[in-house]
Amino acid sequence: MKSTMVIGSCLRFFVVAALVVSSQANFPNEKLKTVFEWKDLEYGFPTEADRQYALNERLYIPRNGIPIDVDVFYKGDGTAKTFVTIPRFSPGIPYSLATVSNRRGPNGPLLEAYPNYNMHSSNGTDCNGITSIFRVAIDECNRLWMVDTGRVDTTQHCPPKVLVYNLNNDNLVLRYQIPEGQYFPGMSLFITPIVDIPNGQCNRAKLYIADVQAPGLLVFDQATQSSWRIQHKWMYPDPDFGTFTIAKESFNLMDGMFGMSLTPKSYNGERYLYFHALASEKESAVPLRAINDASMWAGNPEGHPEVFKNLGYRGVQCAAEAMDSRGNLYCCLMEPISIFSWNINTPYQKKFFKDVVTNPEKLQFASGMKVIKNRQGQEELWVSTNRLQKIYAGSINYNEVNFRLLVGNVNELNGGVVGPSRPPFFPPTRRPSYGGGSGGYGQDLGNNLIFT
């Protein structure tokens, strides 16, 4: 496995007939509840003949799949659809994007291919289908965004492409092939999409995409049907943080640009993309206004390093991240194994980190994380975990629970305390002002990044 393992509510408001709650007991005082769990993934097939064919042709090899991401679509009819991604790190994975069904197999709930089995069954030989998906993003316009890497293991079968589905009818509404020159075949791995809908305009979405193995950021503009690449040294892995130790098992993984989140729309002033490399202790930020300006990066994806801000250091790695509407950023530390929250109005320092969940058993490698608003208007934190360290070490035991989808109410996770709606804090810095395609760029005396 050479590529990256890149990787509300079961609470009183979460009553959805379409979801089958895990048989594992949830203790009453647990802030993060188990919704689904698997010892090994259970793939559903359209027919038994399809399953047998996949087994015979080694298109389905049991125990090869690893769930990476989760997202949830709350439907108007009172049900919900839970999405899971299973990237094709290796052959033998019958489909890469699934929903969780209300049927069960011996090892857990059965998955169903999304949007259908035929879109996945070519395993990369048909580039009109889906080859491999790492993560997905659902926008406020009821659309599901994803980036098909086009890769199985390290083989680039198809050019990477952006796909968008209308969740009201499951129809494909957008397909955009990433141009040559904006990715490196066999090396680029687009793993994390974050979507923004400016001013509620569904036809003017911006998609921000992390490239983990050829570290960089891709920006896709729906309105102009164009994209551009951005690179910065903080998107690269730090060799000093390339060894991961989780539950006393260690492995090496030099992964770059990985976790991303957007600051809330409710704040006055500029919005920012927060990000970090997986093999890193650093959290960084960049204004959307800068990365949304294609002219700033034309001809040189590294042309404006001055717009990036180093927020601070954790002292340890964390994987996927998510941010709620009050500016609380969540991420799961590798050691100790715990989810912390940090409010962007404060300095990025450990003394301002809040331990919201510590669970060394359930939180082993949180590869997917989302903040999702449920039908009651409350925000939930959804987390996908997969015991990645045991997969690397070859110590995974398929008689035990290995994969989980967890959920918690954001207000309860924070003890009912939410951050104030102020612009984010940035540490002081001495930088000359910049004159570029979108006007000057500098910093005011209140530690806020400003354009002039």
Spatial distance between the Cα atoms of 280 and 145, rounded to a whole number of angstroms:
27
Bridge pairing between strands 309-313 and 190-196? unpaired
Residue 420 phi, psi dihedral angles, 5° rounding = -70, 155
Extract the residue ranges of the chain whose pLDDT is less than 70. Answer: 1-29, 267-268, 416-423, 428-452
Task: For tokens 């040559």, name the residue.
Answer: 180
At 30 the pLDDT is 83
Sign of CA dihedral 127, 256, 370, 358: positive
What helix, strand, coil percent values describe the chain, rounded to 5? 10, 40, 50
Residues 6+ apart with CB under 8 A from 447: 425, 426, 427, 428
Give which of 192, 112, 124, 191 is closest to 159, Cα–Cα. 124
Residues 6+ apart with CB under 8 A from 18: 79, 80, 81, 102
Element (H, E) at 43: strand 42-43
Residue 54 phi, psi dihedral angles, 5° rounding = -60, -40
At 10 the pLDDT is 35
Rounded to 10 degrees, what is the CA torsion of 422, 426, 430, 432? -60
Give which of 11, 60, 117 is closest to 380, Cα–Cα. 11
At 27 the pLDDT is 53
Residues 6+ apart with CB under 8 A from 203: 222, 223
Joined together, the tokens standing for residue 31 give 């802030």
Spatial distance between the Cα atoms of 31 and 386, rounded to a whole number of angstroms:
19
At 259 the pLDDT is 98
CA 214 to centroid of chain Cα atoms = 17
pLDDT in tens, 136-189: 999 999 999 999 999 999 999 999 999 999 999 999 999 999 999 999 999 999
Would you kindly state where each structural domain of the chain is located, as residue ranges? 33-416+426-451
Spatial distance between the Cα atoms of 242 and 252, rounded to a whole number of angstroms:
6
Q: Does domain 33-416+426-451 have CATH number 2.120.10.30?
A: yes
At 49 the pLDDT is 98
At 267 the pLDDT is 61
Joined together, the tokens standing for residue 120 give 């996945």
Give which of 281, 273, 340, 353 is closest to 309, Cα–Cα. 273
**pTM for this structure?**
0.89
